[in-house]
Structures are given as structure tokens and as C-alpha cells.
Structure 1
Amino acid sequence: MYSRFLSDRIKNRIDSGKAIVVMGPRQVGKTTLIESILETRDYLLLDGDDPKTRTLLTEPNTEQIRTILGKYKFVFIDEAQKIEGIGLTMKIITDRFKDVQLFMNGSSFFDLSSKINEPLTGRKWEYQLFPISWEEYENHHGYLFAEQNLENRLLYGFYPDVLNNAGDEISILRNLVNSYLYKDILSYAEIRKPEVLEKLVQALALQVGSEVNYSELAQIVNVDKNTISKYIDILQKGYIVFKLNSFSRNVRNEIKTNKKVYFYDNGIRNMVLGNFNPMELRTDKGAIWENFLISERIKQIEYKQSLAHTYFWRTKQQQEVDFVEENGGKIFGYEFKWNKKKNQKLPKTFTQTYNAKSKIIDKVNFREFVIIK
């Protein structure tokens, strides 16, 4: 089993008087993480997939909750988003049963957050768990194995099931995309036109590393701009994609409003396109490399609780910086190159205007970017 960075952080919150909530996409190991933390403790598991459990936990009063909990001091509610009124039930547990440490997880951000945010204001520690990070992967396998398998990770990504079933990656990714990406998101978000979502996800996969124009996407998918915006928001909340906004402060010709969209996992992106050709045969190797680096950096920023804000930068004259990080009043610019050429530098317009530190990230030095010390 892969050791997860969040494990120690969560252990330090036990007995803090607040519920511990782990959110993230399906199949990234949320249940496994919580069960590993609780394995030496006697705990009560309440499974949101079980109809009887759902009935018991839907709007119970304090005495009913007391009966359900019994003498357990640790309680884990799995797939909590499937239980109606779960936020109020959790509020009663955290307020009335001070000696009980409550854990819960959920796969559907839009479903779960709406149910728990208001009732649990000030009563929860919330964590996001993503597919295995490069740091977790290298810690588990060692430097040499990780280095030898870099291309596989660029193609197949980091979902635990994918990592644990070498040789069967495509079947597992197909199941993930078909069941989670399309079925779950369609049902949770009440999307009426699955073919629109499918076309949009494919268009976004093709545009990784490029600016996304909602009007262009609307034409490609044949819907209006508002529908594109709504669906991209749903894909974000479903932990499929995330956005980078453009960085703009001083320069007159900077692009100010456009966005870039990246996938949390390369394997999902490549499955959407149905393309697992080796890197040397691909025309999109730059996009694959960029998506890997930025998604890994986003995991690190979340896990290490960095205060960094992330962007990209471009001017109307096509000067560009792939990734911009603003942290503690300092600005850092990064360019990503699969094959680095000599004397490559970031645009002076950017580095001088913002007094920015800059670095080219390639296959030789990428670890210093994907692991924040």
C-alpha cells in the first residue's frame, strides 16, 4: 500500500473536537487512507452505500444517534454524500458527543459540500486527496524505479488501481472514465446531454496547455457559452479538471481574461483521447509533460498547505510563461520543456517587469518542481 502524505497530518487532528473530512475523486484511496489510520483502533463503520445505513442516518434525533454509536469512540462514515441530511447528523455528533472522533469521506464535491458546509461550519478539518503523487510514488518504489517508469506515469497516470495492476492499465482507465467520469458526474449534476459532456471533455483534452476559449468550445460542442461554463465547473467539482487563470498586473498587452484547463491525472486525459502511444511517437508530448508537471505541483500546494497562487502568463505578441506562482509577494516563472535546448530563457518582459525568478523545467530537474520541500 502506498503511504499517503496526508496520513500524518490527519493523525495530528484526531481528538481535536472536529470532524475529519476527506474529499476527492473516486478510486484515489480515501477509504483506504482512513481505514489505515483507524486500523489499530476499535471503530464503527457506517457505509453510505448500504440502504439500511442511509435510512438510519437520515434525520435521526440525538437519542437515536446515541443508540447507533454505542460505545464507539471512533466513527467512520463512508460515501457520506449518499445520506440525506448527513450534515445535520454530523453536527449533532460533533456537538453532543464530544468524546467521539468522526471521520467521513465523499467522492462528489458538489453533492457533499452542499450537505455539510453550512451545518459543519467551524466543526471540521477538510482534506482533499488526489491520485498518488510523484513524491508518494518515488518514496514507495525508490528513485531508480520511479525514474525508469516516468514515461509510463506520463501515459497511464497515478490512480492506485492503475499502479497496482501493471499491464492492465487501459482496461482500468476505461472503467474509471466510463463509470466515474460519465455515469457518476452525469447523475450527480443532472446533466441531460451526455454526448455534450463527452465532446467537451475530448475538446479540453486536446487543448491541454493552450488557452481555452469558451466561445470556440461552444461552437465545437454545439451548445451556448453558458452551458460550456457550467459543464467545466461541474468537471472541476468532480475532480476531473482544474483551471489556471492568466497573470496580469502591469503590461498593457497582457492577456487578462483567458484560462487554461488541465486534467488532475494524465491517464484520464489520455483515456479520453484513446491514445497511449509512446512518447517518442506523439505530437502532444509537450502537453502531456506540462499536464503532468502542473497537476503534480497542484497536489503539492494542497498537501503542503502552501499559500502559492498559480497562473500562466501571455501577451498579445505571443510572449508566454507556462506557469506562474505568486507566493509571499515573490513571483516565480516556469517554462516546461520535454527536450531542453541550450540558452532557453523566459521573456524579459515578464522577468524584468515583475522582478521574477525563472527556471526551465525538464526531465533532468523536474523533481525540484514536483516535490515542494
Structure 2
Amino acid sequence: MIERIASQKVLQLSKVFKSVAITGPRQSGKTTLVKSLFPEKVYLSLENPDTRRFAIEDPRGFLNGYESGAIFDEVQRTPELFSYLQEILDSSQEAGRFILTGSNNFLLQQNISQSLAGRVAILNLLPFSTDELFAGSKAAPDENELILKGLYPPIYDMGIPPEDWYPNYLRTYIDRDVRQIKNITDLIVFERFMRFLAGRSGQELNLTSLAVETGVDTKTIQSWIGILESSFIIYLLRPHYKNFNKTLIKRPKIYFYDTGLVCSLLGIISKDQLLQHPLRGSLFESLVVTELVKKRTNTGKQINLYYWRDKTGHEVDVIIDNGTSLLPVEIKAGKTINSEFFKSLIYWNKLSGQKSGLIVYAGDQEEERSNGINVMNWLSMVRSNI
């Protein structure tokens, strides 16, 4: 089993909080993780119809059988349990009594905030990071193969070809999770919307344009974006709030948490197709952005990533906000350093009065420039303390 970086944080939280909730997309490894970390606890999946019916119809009787604690998988399926869990947790000071998992952040967070606030620690578990997948390996992974395959555990643990796994994953997600969150009558239109969205990976979220293309109104698009975001399919990178005397773009940029899913939605099934595809640069950018997100979520830290763009078209792909300092990052899919890589960071440094920046690219040469802008291989950056 591939060791998960989040393990250390989950164990730490279980020693100080009465309960720990692990959220993340379906098939990201939540069940495998909690079973390995808490082998002494009884495991129950609330996806099981009989177990779920018992928990819904007689929550007090159900919980009476697990007073010493348990792992409740996909617990968002039984919101009736949360108020009763509160009663049990309040009656004891025992830490780590119940371990909860859920594949819908909105439903789980909503129930926790209503009943279990202050009693439960929440940690997001995303698909494998490259640091996990290639831990201890000296060989550099092929970024194009990673983009194509994605990083969902079943593709690596079970050896399922991505061209077989992703369409089935998508079908399961739409049929089960989407229906659970919102009663969408035309799932075919929703799937078409996802394909349109995949074609906008790394771009600004334009609700009006998506509505026209999909054939529904903007309120529906906004609702569907919320579904995809809460179920960890897409990540919205918000614009940074500092404007440096320039009018800023205020719309977020869209990224899918997994590039393999994007490739499947776009019909990219081979490396040759990927190398020639007009979205290859956006897909490489998506890979790097999501790796940065995983660096934070795996250690239980808040995500401190933004982007910056003004209305004249100047843009910085990522701004890492460390509280007292900002690090602008440009992401380039090319393997050869050229002067075009530096233009946006030089412009941003003039506006901000800083002398810093990072070019993250697919090449191997690394440089430290006198203007404060460093050049770094993308994998080296992911493995660094940045």
C-alpha cells in the first residue's frame, strides 16, 4: 500500500479531537486510509442499504451498538446520526472515538457545523500526490503520462487502464453523487456541461458563456458548479485581493482536481493526442496547481493559493500568500527556458515593489536570476518547502 502523507495529521487529530472526519472525492483512498490507521475500530459503510436503513430508522439503537467507537464510511448518507453522535461525544472526553468519512464536502460540513462543531476535526484527502506515488524514487516521472493517467488510487493499486476506469467513475459519480446532492432530471445535459467545463480547465469561470453553450440558465450553471466543487471534482482558484492600483478580474479560475478525468472528458486517450492537444499547457498547469493544493491539504493546512490578473491582460498563474509575503509563480509546460517565461513576473514585481518570483516548468535546468526570479523543475518545486 502506498503510504499517505495525511496519515500523520489524521493520527495527530485523533489524539486531541473526539472525532475526525475525512472528506474527499469518491475513490481517493479514504476507506483504505482509515482502516489502516484504526484497525481496532469496527468499520461500517453507510452505502450499504441495510446498514443505512437501520441508522436512519433507529439512530439511537444503531449507535448503542458502537459505544466504544467505530468508523462510519460515507456518513453524509445518514444526516439523522449527527445529533445523536453529538450526545455521545458530549458524554465523554475520549479522543478519536468515531472516525467519519464522506465524499461530499457540502453535506458533511453542513451536518457537522449544525451538530458537531468543535467536536470534529476535518481533513480533506485528495487522490495521490506525486510525492506519495514516487516516494523514494530517483527517477523523474513523465509529466505527460501523469497528466493522462491522473492520480486516482485504483489506477495504480488495481492496475485499471485509465481509459476504462474514468468513464465508469464518471457514470457512478453522476448516477449516485449528483442525484444525492440535487435532483437533476436530465443527467445527460449535466454530463455535457462537465465536458464543456473540462475544455475550460485553467480558464476563468464564465457562467454566461457556459449557460449558452449548455443550454440552461446561469443559476443552474452556478448550482452545478457548486455540486462539482463540493464533491471534489473541480477546484476554484480565487483571484488575489491586492490590486496594486489596477482593476482586477474577480472571477475564479477552474481546475479539475485530477487531470486524468479531464483527459477522459476531452477524449484524450494517448500520449500522442495529449502532446498535440491545444489544452496540453492548461493540463500541465492543472497538474502543478493541484499538487500545490495537495501539499496543503495533506498536512491539514488552509489553502493559500490565488491567481492575479488585471483587465489589461497581465496575469500571474499562482500567488502563494504566506501571510507576510507573496510569492508569484508562473507555470510553463515547455522544457526550454526563454525570455517569454519572465514577462508576467517582471511586470508584477514592478507593480508590487517586490523582487521575487518562481518559474515552474517541465525542463530540468534550474536557475537563480539576479532579478529575484528563480527557475525550477515542477517536481523539484512540489518536493520543496515552498
Give TM-score, length-normalised by structure 2.
0.87
- In structure 2, do the counterparts of structure 1 residues 317 and 49 end up closer, same or farther at CA, with 3 Å as the change threshold? closer
Question: How big is the shift at 1:153?
Answer: 1.1
Q: Does 1:360 align with 2:359?
A: yes
- In structure 2, do the counterparts of structure 1 residues 360 and 66 end up closer, same or farther at CA, with 3 Å as the change threshold? closer
Number of equivalent positions: 365
CA distance in 2, matches of 1:75, 1:256: 47
Residue 313 of structure 1 corresponds to 308
CA distance in 1, matches of 2:142, 2:160: 13
Residue 20 of structure 2 corresponds to 20
Question: How big is the shift at 1:104?
Answer: 1.1
Letter in 2 for 1:198: E
- In structure 2, do the counterparts of structure 1 residues 52 and 276 end up closer, same or farther at CA, with 3 Å as the change threshold? closer
Residue 38 of structure 1 corresponds to 38
CA distance in 2, matches of 1:36, 1:56: 26
CA distance in 1, matches of 2:160, 2:51: 37
Q: Is the 8 A contact 2:35 2:43 kept in 1?
A: no
Q: Is the 8 A contact 2:244 2:352 kept in 1?
A: no
Q: Is the 8 A contact 1:211 1:260 kept in 2?
A: yes
Residue 348 of structure 2 corresponds to 350
Q: Is the 8 A contact 2:174 2:187 kept in 1?
A: no
Correspondence for 1:115 among 101, 111, 114: 111
Pick which of 290-299 and 194-203 moved more: 194-203
| Matched residue SS, 1:2 | coil
Pick which of 157-166 and 107-116 moved more: 107-116
Question: How big is the shift at 1:258?
Answer: 2.0
Question: How big is the shift at 1:172?
Answer: 1.0
Pick which of 209-218 and 18-27 moved more: 209-218
RMSD: 2.3
Question: How big is the shift at 1:288?
Answer: 1.0
| Matched residue SS, 2:173 | helix
CA distance in 2, matches of 1:369, 1:240: 24
Q: Is the 8 A contact 1:59 1:86 kept in 2?
A: no
Question: How big is the shift at 1:192?
Answer: 2.4
Q: Is the 8 A contact 2:59 2:81 kept in 1?
A: no
| Matched residue SS, 1:58 | helix
Correspondence for 2:319 among 324, 330, 338: 324
CA distance in 2, matches of 1:172, 1:58: 32
| Matched residue SS, 1:360 | strand
Residue 5 of structure 1 corresponds to 5
Question: How big is the shift at 1:214?
Answer: 1.3
Letter in 1 for 2:125: L
Q: Which runs of 5+ in 2 are unaligned?
A: 365-376
Residue 193 of structure 2 corresponds to 200
Question: How big is the shift at 1:335?
Answer: 1.1
Question: How big is the shift at 1:3?
Answer: 0.5
Deviations 1:91-113 (A, max 9, x none): 12212244471111111223322
Letter in 1 for 2:123: Y
- In structure 2, do the counterparts of structure 1 residues 252 and 91 end up closer, same or farther at CA, with 3 Å as the change threshold? same
Q: Is the 8 A contact 1:247 1:256 kept in 2?
A: no
Residue 277 of structure 2 corresponds to 282
Pick which of 222-231 and 29-38 moved more: 222-231
Correspondence for 2:217 among 218, 224, 235: 224
Pick which of 28-37 and 303-312 moved more: 303-312
- In structure 2, do the counterparts of structure 1 residues 284 and 61 end up closer, same or farther at CA, with 3 Å as the change threshold? closer
- In structure 2, do the counterparts of structure 1 residues 299 and 17 end up closer, same or farther at CA, with 3 Å as the change threshold? closer
CA distance in 2, matches of 1:255, 1:57: 49
Question: How big is the shift at 1:9?
Answer: 1.3
Deviations 1:79-125 (A, max 9, x none): 21222412112212212244471111111223322223211011001
Residue 176 of structure 1 corresponds to 169
Q: Is the 8 A contact 2:82 2:115 kept in 1?
A: yes
Letter in 2 for 1:29: G
Q: Is the 8 A contact 1:54 1:84 kept in 2?
A: no
Residue 369 of structure 2 corresponds to none
CA distance in 2, matches of 1:181, 1:22: 21
Correspondence for 2:381 among 344, 369, 372: 369
Letter in 1 for 2:322: N
Written as runs of structure 1 = structure 2, the 5 A alignment for 1:43-58 is 43-58=41-56
Question: How big is the shift at 1:341?
Answer: 3.0
Give TM-score, length-normalised by structure 1.
0.90
Q: Is the 8 A contact 2:293 2:303 kept in 1?
A: no
Q: Is the 8 A contact 2:23 2:105 kept in 1?
A: yes
| Matched residue SS, 1:256 | coil
CA distance in 2, matches of 1:108, 1:307: 18
Residue 156 of structure 2 corresponds to 163
CA distance in 2, matches of 1:254, 1:225: 25
CA distance in 1, matches of 2:119, 2:78: 19
Pick which of 327-336 and 111-120 moved more: 111-120
CA distance in 2, matches of 1:306, 1:10: 12
